């Protein structure tokens, strides 16, 4: 009898626990924390089909929400806290809404940042899956999170939302979370090789248009392998500024895709962040700027580490919600390096003789009704002629030395690149021209049609900074395209504007049948004898 009573008690406990467990909504969660959700994104347009699935694990229930916008608000690698934000149209999310309501109700405790006062929906875990075609590309596991801010707002495009048929309004919820930590789940990546022969994995080009098809490919070279990827957005953050000799670095923004070796470097940097006594394995990065025909430029970075990593969703106000455009989830990778060697492949092809460049480097820029800017560089007798769509002249009145900037898509300009590389070798200097070595002259001519409308002569110039970066416009560039550009910043000793039209206004035309006084005097002197001279 005693044995039967024990069995009945255990059975009763199991039944009671099951009923309680089911009543709390956790008996059968709709989706697991790491399972991609089938047919989850039909209502939105996501670039390359890459979208976010956010699963909240509350104490009394699991809830998965399709937030089209997910962005980290604190650097995942840096040791400065863990936070992220989501945004989406308000839908049926009872557990999340309860957490939002309680955060307001107990806002004094939330704002204080202390965990002394606890309530049921205050702390929870969040799993964010970045998914493509029901395959998880990357997963971020946030633990011990709480709501730090919440707002409801209507996204509009000003008056166009009231009038245009392809746009409208979107009432969205924006929520920011503060967490104890985040783990980047690399288990879904292919296995990371630890001991193997050197292999290069080339992921090929991305399916996005770029101006003149000039693309940026990066080869990350690790001790146990290498990965070559394309980045649609590349920015050279340091390396050529003459006032900064602290090292080199760059930033890339590209689609969130699994790259096991690069992801492993991100994970290592995150684990070692803030630990002064730990050693982070470094790597090299070879950056190639190419068009369909050749390599235009290369940058060889060495002894690099991952210094920053973020994920963000690019969008333009309400456009992604109304169907006018979409959402682009991308990752930002910051890399700092100890050294940088620029590569100028076309310079070695030049003849060592001082012949001028006979073929101008021209582009098909749309300048509207304005003039084209043609820059002619004179490098100690060797000239290079390039057209630029962007010319910015510094304030000539306020500076001791004239300055100007030129911006354009990279081309075959070996002499100009050589001047950039020479300037890098002479770092670092204070502002102001203080050396006559390797200076050059630049003529800026503005041509409208067949007529020259303005011209500037800059003399004894040098390059004070050089930046390579991609021009883009939020998510729209993923649909319309990107433009990789060179930025050249110059400082010169001399400047002379050329106003040819003004001079022509005061020139006196000479009749073909009339002899000028100077011509007459010259003719007379030519017949003088040897003893005659002009006093």
pLDDT of residue 364: 81
CA distances to 97, 142, 222 from 104, rounded to whole Å, are: 11, 22, 48
Tokens 């069995």 sit at which residue?
7
Tokens of 63: 């809830």
DSSP 211: G
3-state secondary structure of 384: strand
Task: Count Cβ atoms within 10 A of the Cβ of residue 159 and give its class: 0-12 exposed, 13-18 middle, 19 or more buried.
Answer: exposed
User: Measuring CA to CA, which residue among 308, 199, 336 is closest to residue 260?
Assistant: 199
Helix spans in 257-385 (H) = 260-272, 319-322
Convert the pLDDT of each residue in 493-508 to its tens digit. 999 998 877 666 766 6
3-state secondary structure of 318: coil
Tokens 């990827």 sit at which residue?
229
d(CA 518, CA 69): 79
Q: Residue-wise pLDDT tens for the chain (535 aa)?
A: 444 434 434 334 333 334 333 344 333 343 334 455 555 556 799 999 999 999 999 999 999 998 999 999 999 998 778 999 999 998 889 999 999 999 998 887 777 766 667 888 899 999 999 999 889 999 999 999 999 999 999 999 898 899 988 889 999 999 999 999 999 887 555 544 444 456 999 999 999 999 999 999 999 999 989 999 999 999 999 999 888 777 899 999 998 989 999 999 999 898 887 665 566 789 999 999 999 999 999 999 999 999 999 999 999 999 999 988 899 999 999 999 999 999 999 987 775 545 555 567 778 888 888 899 999 999 988 999 999 999 999 778 877 889 999 999 999 999 999 999 998 887 555 445 445 568 999 999 999 888 888 999 999 999 999 999 999 988 889 889 999 999 999 999 999 998 877 666 766 666 555 555 556 456 545 554 554 444 4
- For the chain, list the domains and their CATH numbers: 47-185 (2.30.110.20), 200-273+280-345 (2.30.110.20), 348-504 (2.30.110)
Beta bridge partners of 215: 290
Tokens 């979370």 sit at which residue?
177
Tokens 């395959």 sit at which residue?
135
The sign of the dihedral angle between the CA atoms of 87, 89, 94, 98 is positive
3-state secondary structure of 403: strand
CA 193, chain centre distance (Å): 29
d(CA 102, CA 346): 65
pLDDT of residue 436: 54
3-state secondary structure of 325: coil
User: Measuring CA to CA, which residue among 46, 61, 43 is closest to residue 97?
Assistant: 61
d(CA 415, CA 377): 9
- Please say whether the beta carbons of 479 and 47 come within 8 A: yes
Confidence (pTM): 0.81
Task: Count Cβ atoms within 10 A of the Cβ of residue 493 and give its class: 0-12 exposed, 13-18 middle, 19 or more buried.
Answer: middle
d(CA 114, CA 404): 53
DSSP 381: T
CA 283, chain centre distance (Å): 21
pLDDT of residue 32: 39
Strand 295-314 relative to strand 328-343: parallel, antiparallel, unpaired?
A: antiparallel
pLDDT of residue 530: 53
d(CA 261, CA 281): 12
Largest Cα–Cα distance in the chain?
A: 153
pLDDT of residue 167: 87
pLDDT of residue 339: 92
Tokens 């500024």 sit at which residue?
241
Task: Count Cβ atoms within 10 A of the Cβ of residue 369 and give its class: 0-12 exposed, 13-18 middle, 19 or more buried.
Answer: exposed
Task: Count Cβ atoms within 10 A of the Cβ of residue 102 and give its class: 0-12 exposed, 13-18 middle, 19 or more buried.
Answer: middle
Beta bridge partners of 445: 374, 455
The CA dihedral of 121, 126, 132, 137, to the nearest 10 degrees, is -170
Tokens of 286: 């070879």
pLDDT of residue 78: 84
DSSP characters over 288-334: EEE-SS-EEEEEEEEEEEEEEEEEEEE--TTHHHHTSS-BEEEEEEE
Sequence-distant (6+) residues with CB within 8 A of 296 are: 214, 289, 290, 345, 346, 410, 411, 412
Tokens of 315: 């969008």
pLDDT of residue 24: 40
Q: What are phi and psi of 459, to 5 degrees?
A: -120, 150
Tokens of 505: 């206004």
d(CA 323, CA 44): 7
Q: Is the preceding peptide bond at 428 cis, omega within 30 degrees of 0?
A: yes
Give me the long-range contacts of 108-111 (CB less than 8 A, separation at least 24): 110/146, 110/147, 110/148
């Amino acid at each position: 009898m005693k044995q039967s009573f024990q069995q009945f008690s255990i059975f009763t406990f199991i039944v009671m626990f099951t009923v309680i467990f089911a009543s709390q909504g956790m008996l059968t969660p709709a989706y697991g924390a790491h399972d991609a959700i089938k047919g989850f994104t039909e209502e939105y347009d996501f670039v390359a089909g890459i979208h976010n699935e956010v699963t909240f694990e509350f104490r009394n229930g699991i809830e998965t929400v399709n937030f089209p916008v997910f962005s980290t608000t604190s650097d995942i690698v840096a040791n400065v806290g863990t936070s992220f934000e989501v945004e989406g149209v308000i839908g049926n999310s009872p557990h999340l809404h309860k957490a939002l309501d309680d955060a307001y109700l107990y806002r004094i405790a939330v704002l204080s940042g202390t965990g002394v006062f606890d309530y049921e929906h205050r702390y929870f875990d969040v799993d964010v899956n970045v998914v493509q075609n029901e395959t998880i590309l990357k997963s971020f596991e946030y633990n011990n999170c709480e709501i730090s801010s919440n707002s409801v707002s209507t996204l509009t495009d000003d008056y166009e939302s009231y009038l245009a048929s392809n746009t409208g309004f979107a009432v969205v919820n924006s929520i920011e979370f503060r967490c104890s930590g985040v783990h980047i789940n690399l288990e879904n990546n292919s296995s990371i090789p630890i001991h193997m022969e050197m292999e290069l994995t080339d992921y090929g080009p991305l399916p996005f248009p770029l101006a003149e098809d000039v693309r940026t490919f990066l080869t990350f070279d690790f001790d146990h392998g290498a990965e070559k990827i394309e980045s649609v957005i590349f920015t050279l953050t340091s390396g050529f500024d003459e006032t900064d000799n602290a090292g080199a670095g760059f930033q890339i923004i590209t689609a969130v895709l699994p790259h096991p070796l690069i992801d492993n470097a991100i994970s290592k940097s995150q684990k070692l962040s803030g630990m002064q006594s730990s050693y982070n394995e470094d790597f090299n990065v070879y950056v190639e700027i190419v068009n369909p025909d050749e390599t235009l430029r290369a940058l060889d970075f060495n002894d690099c580490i991952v210094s920053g990593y973020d994920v963000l969703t690019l969008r333009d106000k309400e456009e992604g919600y109304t169907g006018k455009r979409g959402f682009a989830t991308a990752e930002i990778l910051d890399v700092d390096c100890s050294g940088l060697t620029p590569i100028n492949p076309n310079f070695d092809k030049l003849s060592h003789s001082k012949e001028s460049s006979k073929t101008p480097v021209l582009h098909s820029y749309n300048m509207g009704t304005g003039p084209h800017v043609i820059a002619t560089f004179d490098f100690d007798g060797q000239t290079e002629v390039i057209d630029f769509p962007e010319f910015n002249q510094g304030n000539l009145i306020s500076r001791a030395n004239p300055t100007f900037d030129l911006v354009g898509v990279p081309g075959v300009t070996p002499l100009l690149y050589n001047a950039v590389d020479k300037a890098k070798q002479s770092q670092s200097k204070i502002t102001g021209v203080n050396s006559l070595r390797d200076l050059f002259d630049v003529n800026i001519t503005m041509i409208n049609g067949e007529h020259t409308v303005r011209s500037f002569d800059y003399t004894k110039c040098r390059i004070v900074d050089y930046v390579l970066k991609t021009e883009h416009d939020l998510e729209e560039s993923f649909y319309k395209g990107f433009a990789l550009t060179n930025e050249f910043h110059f400082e010169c000793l001399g400047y002379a504007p050329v106003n040819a039209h003004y001079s022509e206004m005061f020139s006196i035309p000479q009749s073909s049948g009339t002899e000028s006084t100077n011509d007459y005097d010259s003719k007379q002197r030519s017949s003088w004898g040897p003893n005659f001279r002009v006093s």
